[in-house]
Structure 1
């Protein structure tokens, strides 16, 4: 789980006249959400990838590096923010996490507005929001898509990640809304427990449906 998982809210600019369909894409860790987001992008749907934006902001010369170093000394270097070190400083520590969020969120909020303005003529916009349900952002999108896969496939994917352990995986799951509940609250579900070709076909069918 990346630090950007705390980003949830997507709101329309107040002066918006044309209203692209706002799509919230979410799913538990290891469900293949990033792959599905890329499939939407491949089909021409503008995608706001918050994790990628945070990587840029925390990378070498990134806009957040100085503020993060000031609040969390020793977590940055020539390559920008050391995400592993920073994660260790805030994981399981609500006060420290809130302090980090107070640095990150205002910048991301402005970026989302800029993204909306840049694509206001698009038919639909997709926002990749890992904790859409957990942090109460679901009311700010028009359609919710949940990416899901069988539990055994999810576990295999997650434990294959560098530095991941079974204990850490269970800890992450404990703070996420269960997959079954996410599926129940979704407008649409994309299954990634099948082949990539089948998932891509499902994405194309869904885009066609949403376009109508």
Structure 2
């Protein structure tokens, strides 16, 4: 099984690329989705309440807006939260991967390079777009302010560095057709028989 890491900065269009891959029958494991699943377990909620205080947990689960506000302002709090959640996400992603019967699997991981997970991949795909375009997309999609988006963007590795490290770079600054052409090219490369 070939394991491909998919990543991109906030607003780059990584989820759109993931949907395109799934539409072509490629299994995509979404680390954010797994993180939501993991962070709603009673064990993790207890650890979050213990680390940050009971106000960060509600009867429905983790108080996401409150936790986001905390971790995007305080790097040490972000480190503590990542220490609680990331090992459990990695373990669950491996579990899900073993249940697949596929030649190629894509792991959609926002902090792929930051977490050193690119070393576990056979190839990596970085989705990118100009900063202003990314800010505009996220403002429309999530209703965040420019400052909130920039604060989140600063917590990640700079786009230029991600592009340097990537096996493939998808520039998402044009039409969906252009995006699709790039995705098709990458899939052809990944699925080509080894010579």
Please indicate the TM-score interval, normalised by the length of the shorter structure. 0.7 to 0.9
Deviation at 1:131, TM superposition (A): 2.0
Q: TM-score, normalised by structure 1?
A: 0.79
Give 1:136's aligned residue: 116
Query: Which residue number in structure 2 is paired with residue 196 of structure 1?
Result: 176
CA gap of 1:178–1:67, structure 2 versus 1, over 3 A, is closer
- Distance verdict in 2 for CA 1:96–1:183, change over 3 Å: closer
Give the conservation status (yes or no) of the 8 Å contact 1:43–1:204: no
Tell me how far 1:183 sits from its aligned partner: 2.0
Residue equivalent to 1:27: 8
Offset at 1:143? 0.5
Q: Deviations over 1:13-51 (max 9, x none)?
A: xxxxxxx11111111111001111121112111111011
- How many residues align? The count is 191
Partner secondary structure for residue 147 of structure 1:
strand
- Would you tell me which structure has more helix in proportion to its own residues? 2
User: Is the Cα contact below 8 Å between 2:126 and 2:166 reproduced in 1?
Assistant: yes
Structure 2 gaps, min length 5 = none
Runs of 5+ in structure 1 lacking a partner? 1-19
Cα RMSD (Å) of the superposition? 2.1
TM-score under structure 2 length normalisation: 0.85
Partner Cα separation in structure 2 for residue 194 and residue 118 of structure 1: 36
- Please name the residue that 2:55 is paired with: 74
CA distance in 1, matches of 2:43, 2:29: 18
